[in-house]
């Protein structure tokens, strides 16, 4: 395993994904049933109210589903609760421990595997649906991971992949302009070389924790390129919350929703695997 992936594991072990999301403040003991319920309510009503319909949690009963990068099992539990047969894969053992605990507390069945998105340990044409939400922009070779999803998907079936969107207000205003300018000033005040300043490091530290070793962002065109093996590829953009830009609190909710479809933080990629020849 590369040193970078070891750092990725260390980071998400210390800060399990979803536990530090801006705006989430738990009132229950961590990783109890009440905590997980509170976390799900926040995720689907306040943080990303669009996610349930986009992911179609209730639309796949009986299907064999793989989630690549399942984290604490939050989204995977929604599929399982609605009758899907689910497998969660994650690079970080701590995530799998928490996902197993979550499923056990809610009386649901799931299989959890420690593995690498870039080298899936499944046979070709194994799954009815493959889902990955906010994960593949954290792996070094995102293209290889997307190709692996295509390989294990059954012909005629759909994959759904969510990545961070480059052309979003959150990226340009909150990360590049706000966070980037502050870090740039600190960089110079600390006597460091101008050539050593990196916006890639700003992006990683500003999105998922100060010590996050890797985060990338993708345009629609880059997303389409990643999905080049799939048929009928569709791109959508979602997620623009109040606070993502100056004076957003004065913008009507209807306008904010419309803006989110072009300037939101999540790029949603859908594609179907072609029939076998």
CATH number (domain holding residue 14): 3.40.50.150
Average pLDDT over residues 78-87: 98
Specify whether the CB–CB gap between 124 and 151 falls below 8 A.
Answer: yes
Give the pLDDT confidence of 89-109 residue by residue, as tens digits: 999 999 999 999 999 999 999
240 located within any domain: yes
Q: What is the pLDDT of residue 192?
A: 81
- What pLDDT score does 22 carry? 81
Residue 85 lies in a domain: yes
At residue 185, does pLDDT exceed 90?
Answer: no
Domain membership of residue 120 as a residue range: 3-162+216-272
Give domain status of residue 193, yes or no. Answer: no
Q: Is the pLDDT of residue 197 over 80?
A: no
Average pLDDT, the chain: 93
Given a cut of 90, whether residue 243 has pLDDT beyond it is: no
Structure tokens of 53? 């319909």
Residue 251 within any structural domain of the chain: yes
Distance CA 163, CA 268 (A): 7
Q: Kindly state whether residue 125 falls inside one of the protein's structural domains.
A: yes
pLDDT for res 277: 56
In the block, tokens 């799954």 appear at 127
Q: What is the pLDDT of residue 245?
A: 72
Nearest-10 crossing angle of helices 74-81, 93-105? 40
What's the pLDDT at 124? 98
Q: Give me the sheet containing 153-164, strands edge to edge.
A: 111-114, 85-90, 64-68, 127-133, 153-164, 266-272, 231-238
Residue 46 domain-assigned (yes or no): yes
User: Which range (39-48, 64-73, 239-248, 262-271) has the least confidence?
Assistant: 239-248
Residue 183 within a domain: no
| Number of domains the chain is built from | 1
Instruction: Specify if 184 maps to a domain.
Output: no
- Among 1-15, 158-172, 237-251, the range scoring the smallest mean pLDDT is 237-251
User: How many residues make up the chain in this entry?
Assistant: 277
Euclidean distance between CA atoms 13 and 146, whole angstroms: 24
């Amino acid at each position: 395993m590369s040193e970078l992936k070891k750092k990725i594991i260390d980071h998400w072990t210390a800060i399990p994904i979803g536990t530090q999301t801006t705006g989430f403040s738990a009132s229950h003991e961590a990783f109890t049933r009440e905590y997980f319920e509170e976390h799900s309510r926040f995720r689907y009503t306040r943080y990303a109210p669009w996610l349930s319909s986009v992911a179609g949690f209730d639309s796949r009963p009986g299907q064999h589903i793989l989630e690549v990068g399942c984290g604490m099992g939050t989204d995977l539990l929604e599929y399982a609760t609605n009758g899907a047969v689910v497998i969660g894969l994650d690079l970080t053992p701590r995530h799998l421990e928490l996902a197993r605990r979550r499923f056990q507390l809610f009386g649901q069945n799931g299989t959890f595997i420690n593995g690498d998105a870039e080298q899936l340990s499944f046979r070709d044409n194994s799954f009815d649906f493959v889902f990955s939400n906010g994960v593949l922009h954290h792996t070094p070779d995102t293209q290889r991971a997307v190709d692996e999803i295509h390989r294990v998907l059954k012909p005629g079936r759909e994959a759904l992949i969510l990545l961070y969107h480059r052309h979003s207000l959150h990226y340009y205003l909150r990360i590049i302009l706000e966070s980037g300018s502050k870090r740039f000033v600190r960089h110079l005040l600390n006597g460091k070389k101008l050539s050593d300043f990196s916006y890639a490091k700003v992006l990683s530290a500003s999105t998922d924790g100060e010590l996050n070793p890797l985060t990338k962002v993708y345009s629609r065109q880059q997303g389409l390129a990643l999905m080049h093996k799939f048929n009928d590829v569709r791109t959508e953009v979602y997620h623009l919350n109040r606070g993502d830009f100056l004076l957003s609190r004065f913008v009507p909710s209807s306008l904010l929703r419309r803006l989110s479809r072009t300037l939101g933080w999540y790029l949603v990629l859908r594609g179907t695997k072609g029939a076998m020849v």
